[in-house]
Structure 1
Amino acid sequence: MGLQEKVMVEMKAAMKAKDSVALESLRAIKSAILLAKTEKGASGELTEEEEVKLVQKLVKQRKDSAAIYKEQGRDDLAQPELAQVAVIEKFLPEQLTEEEIEKVVVQTIDSLGASGMQDMGKVMGVVTKELAGQADGKTISSIVRTKLSS
């Protein structure tokens, strides 16, 4: 079952449960899928990798918005964003812990023979591909930076 079908099933359940937060989140996913399928140069169908990237983008947008709202002391606006994040994250593969990410980063650094910050781009490229959908780019970046600078 593809992402769009899963979203439609969840939307029906959210409508029956009168869960407005879930419904709004699911509609955002559905909208993003339709936009991606119909944009110029699109094949009309999304690969699983494209679907994961799309969902990650939606999660990141909401987390960024929530952070900005909190920074401005607007918890009333941050809470709905974080509630949507919880709903949207259900459609991502299970996320790895920092320790698991660290293991992959260390293995990659060893295999590439990376020695300093000048190799960060190489390491990030390999690790990001390997952990696609399983880890946040910001987390990967901070771990790579820490490992390469030590």
Structure 2
Amino acid sequence: MATLVEQIKASVKEAMKAKDKQRLGTLRLIQSEFKRIEVDERIDIDDARATAIMDKMLKQRRDSVEQYQNAGRDELAEQELAEIAVISEFLPEPLSADEIDKMIQDAIAASGASGMQAMGAVMATIKPQMQGRADMAEVSKRVKALLN
């Protein structure tokens, strides 16, 4: 199976052949973000890091959509929604609410957490498993609720 970076490169070629400018633009944004991090941190991006990067890009776009809609700029919100759709194609299948709750409860049990002071340990345990598959802000709220 090809790595995430290789899949995106192949998708860029497909978008160029299909003359799909909007998709191509989004894929190039992803590639440029990968390249920026590779240069800044002098590393090769693996699938876990690529997922984290795209998850962050997704979160930024969701925030932008909300701001554009509040400002009445629907055409800009639609552009961001189109980018969200393309980025989401490469992320793993999202977790259901039940799966998230089970993973949180398992992490709490495994760490022996019994209060808010253990929240960092619980989040450190579940974040790698949920990266790109769940909204971490929402997961954090659920962890707080269960630890209180």
TM > 0.5 between the two? yes
3-state SS of the aligned residue for 2:102?
Answer: helix
2:80 maps to what in 1? 81
Show the counterpart of 1:116: 115
Q: Does structure 1 conserve the Cα–Cα contact (< 8 Å) formed by 2:65 and 2:81? A: yes
**Cα contact 2:114–2:147 (8 A) shared by 1:** yes
1:56 counterpart SS class: helix
User: For residue 61 of structure 1, what is the aligned residue in structure 2?
Assistant: 60
Separation in 2 of the partners of 1:82 and 1:110? Answer: 38
- CA gap of 1:112–1:5, structure 2 versus 1, over 3 A, is closer
**Structure 1-normalised TM-score?**
0.87
Q: Scaled by the length of structure 2, what TM-score is found?
A: 0.88
- How far does residue 32 in structure 1 lie from its aligned partner after superposition? 0.9
- Three-state SS of the structure 2 residue aligned to 1:105 is helix
Query: Which residue of 2 is the match for residue 27 of structure 1?
Result: 28
Paired residue type of 2:39 = T
- Tell me the equivalent position of 1:131: 130
Give the AA of the match of 1:121: G
Gapped regions of structure 2 (runs ≥ 5): none
For residues 122 and 72 of structure 2, the distance between their equivalents in structure 1, rounded to whole angstroms, comes to 37
- Unaligned runs of at least 5 residues, structure 1: none
RMSD: 1.7
User: How many residues get paired?
Assistant: 147
Q: Per-residue displacement from partner, 1:36-74 (whole Å, max 9, x unpaired)?
A: 2211x413x212211111111211111111121122222
The one-letter amino acid paired with 2:23 is A
TM-fit CA distance, 1:120: 1.8
Q: Does the C-alpha gap of structure 1 residues 147 and 53 become closer, same or farther in structure 2, counting only changes over 3 Å?
A: same
2:5–2:50 contact (8 Å) kept in structure 1: no
SS in 2 for 1:96: coil
CA shift, 1:26, in A, is 0.2
- Distance in structure 2 (CA, Å) of the matches to 1:38 and 1:145: 37
Give the AA of the match of 1:102: D
